Amino acid sequence: MQRRKIGFLIIALLVVLYPLVIGDSYKVYIMNRSLIHAIIAMGLVTQVGFAGQISLGHAAFYGIGAYTTSLTVLKLGFPIGLGFLAAILMCVIFSVFLSVPSFKLSGFFLSLTTIAFGHIVWVIIVNWQSLTNGPLGVFGIPGLKLFGIKFNNTHYYYLLVATIALLYLFIKRITNSFIGRAFMAMRDDELAAECSGINTRNFKLLAFGISAGFAGLAGAFYAHLSGFISPESFVFAESTKFVGMAVTGGLRHLLGGIIGAPIVTFLPELFRFPGWETYYMMAATFIILMIVVFMPDGLAPLFEKGFNKIFGERDDVKGGSSE
């Protein structure tokens, strides 16, 4: 027990000290972006990994969240907190539209529908110029403030870490409960789940709602963190990146999103050798591909194993070595 506590403490310390040790504000900013993506990937782990409902359209919810908070704050004069709330709520409402097709569709057909949904939202953002300012995007989105202090990247970092900790607790409690069991039953065999009295429609609505709400929250963070949003941040490629993060981290592991997002974000940086600038993305993508092919369960189980090896109970090992 003691060893495990020490292990958690060390990890917590690393997380807390990260921005202070790094010192480079830009790197902290990139980390913040990856944590924002981690929120989306966590939602996808819940929806895709646990409830079995694929989505390749989450950039749409990310965008809806970002635009909702920006426009309500800038045009309606909402306080930022209320803007966040509006962003989450709007995404949950839109998720209902997307989950209706999932009552009938699954697998490839559902993923096509979600791609279409993502594209429709993107086209609306680009073309509804009177509302969204079209391809030019929305400028001058105010940053967060607390007690008169404007948030810098380090403040955002701590806020994001705290938010992720809370969201982690949220999905952990849900997936470990009777609700998570219904999710997994629905994922493994929908017909058998229904014949066991599970109303799968409700659970699809719930799964889509949770992950859309997460993506909306992430979008709101992004808007206020960067101060500027434009449609190009919410294209289809982003949706696939979010799924890629969840899969790299571990689609069926609660830590999947949290581990996957920073790795997919920072891995390319490792390959930025001089003269190699054109290819660094390719190298990183190749490694991610290898992870997905050879470790379909993702990196989170590996991380967990490593943690248990270093900090886990060691009675058996001790007994063996003293012989």
Partner 1 sequence: MNILETKGLTKSFGGVTANSDLDINIEKGSITGLIGPNGSGKTTFINVVSGVHKATSGRVIFNGQDITNFDKHKIARAGIARTFQTIRLFERLSVLETVLVARHASFGAKIWDAVFSTPKLKMANAREEARAKELLEIVGLGKQHYHQMGNSLPYGYRRSLEIARALALEPSLLLLDEPAAGMNREEFNFLQDIILNVKQQGITILLVEHTMELVEAVVDHCVVLNYGQKLTEGPFCDCESDPRVIEAYLGKEEAEC
Interface residues toward partner 1, by CB under 8 A: 170, 173-174, 177-179, 181-182, 184-185, 187-189, 191-200, 206, 252
Nearest to 44 by CA among 233, 288, 252: 252
User: Which string of DSSP letters, residue by residue, matches 167-232?
Assistant: HHHHHHHHHTSHHHHHHHHHHH-HHHHHHTT--HHHHHHHHHHHHHHHHHHHHHHHHHHHS-B-GG
Least separation in angstroms between residue 54's CB and partner 1 is 17
* Dist. CA 74–CA 130, nearest whole Å: 14
Separation between Cα atoms, residue 163 and residue 156, nearest integer Å = 10
Could you tell me the two tokens for 151? 């948030």
- State the nearest-atom distance from the C-beta of 188 to partner 1, in Å: 4
163 or 240: CB nearest partner 1: 163
User: Do residues 132 and 74 make contact, with C-beta atoms less than 8 angstroms apart?
Assistant: no
- Nearer Cβ to partner 1 (213/231): 213
Nearer to partner 1, 231 or 298 (CB): 298
Q: CA–CA separation, 3 vs 51, rounded Å?
A: 34
CB of 13 to partner 1, least distance (A): 27
Residue among 238, 308, 297, 294 nearest 45 (CA): 297
Least distance (Å) between residue 177 CB and partner 1: 4
Token digits of residue 198:
């599970």
Report the nearest approach of partner 1 to the CB of residue 29 (Å).
32
Continuous H helices in the chain = 2-22, 25-44, 58-75, 80-102, 107-127, 129-132, 153-175, 178-188, 190-195, 200-226, 236-249, 256-270, 280-294, 300-311, 315-322
In whole angstroms, how close is the CB of 234 to partner 1 at the nearest point? Answer: 29
Return the number of the residue (161 or 193) whose C-beta is nearest partner 1.
193
CA 144 to chain centre: 21
Choose between 108 and 178: whose C-beta lies nearer to partner 1. Answer: 178
- Nearest to partner 1 of 52, 63 (CB atom): 52
Least distance (Å) between residue 48 CB and partner 1? 14
- Looking at the Cβ atoms of 127 and 176, the one nearer to partner 1 is 176
